Amino acid sequence: MKKVNFIALAMMALPLFAACTNDDDTEPQVEGELEAVLVEDLFAPNSNPGSDDSQEYDYVYFNFENSTVVDSKDEDWDIAFKSTEIIVNGGINGNGNVKGALLSGTVFEELKVLSDDVELTVDTEEMNAIPNGMQSGWWNYDMSTHFVTPKAAVVLIFQTNSGNYVKMEILSFFKGNPPAEEYELKDMYHYTFRYVLQPNGTTTF
């Protein structure tokens, strides 16, 4: 298991505390904001870009709770990446109980509470929990440049193996998250994304 390169976007506020005024009274606990994590340049190609190599690459497995890439599907993982495909550790693609959903027309920062009508599912033979298609998925494809870019206002929701909820936004599919004028095909298949994990099992962020 290895740590990926991540940056805390919003530091956790001071820990919960209670100040005693007397033996019977305590001050209410003050809860801090959740921490958002940025994962940069997670490389997950289907094949080696820019090469005649016909080798097919395996999925890259990721654990939200530990913010780690794990070595294989036999370890504790929540989601996995391969080219534009994202699978969950549940249903046909794993022995876990991870579920997911894609919310379109949703702004990451504005999603504070997960609506009751959001249905999280596992991967099936018919469709992954996170659809992998230009119409229904998280990405756009430019036929003239062959560039893949994340759609705006798309948030991915997951329930982890531990039963906690995650909201996630894919920010870039190019190494270094460059501006559009600097995109190069050889730099694709590098995921940069941010996510917030709610560790108490509720659907609030």
pLDDT digits (tens, 9 = 90+) for 172-199: 999 999 999 999 999 999 999 999 999 9
Tokens of 204: 């609030």
Tokens of 155: 């948030």
Matching residue, tokens 């870019």: 149
More confident site: 64 or 27: 64
Residue-wise pLDDT tens digits, 66-99: 999 999 999 999 999 999 999 999 999 999 999 9
Residue-wise pLDDT tens digits, 112-136: 999 999 999 999 999 999 999 989 9
The per-residue pLDDT for 56 is 73
Count Cβ atoms within 10 A of the Cβ of residue 11 and give its class: 0-12 exposed, 13-18 middle, 19 or more buried.
exposed
The per-residue pLDDT for 80 is 98
CA–CA separation, 89 and 142 (whole Å): 30
Per-domain boundaries in the chain = 2-198
- Percent of the chain beyond pLDDT 70? 80
Q: Is 79 helix (H, G, I), strand (E, B) or coil?
A: strand
The per-residue pLDDT for 52 is 55
For the whole model, what pTM was predicted? 0.83
pLDDT above 70 for 47: no
Number of Cβ within 10 Å of residue 95's Cβ equals 10
Tokens of 16: 């919960």
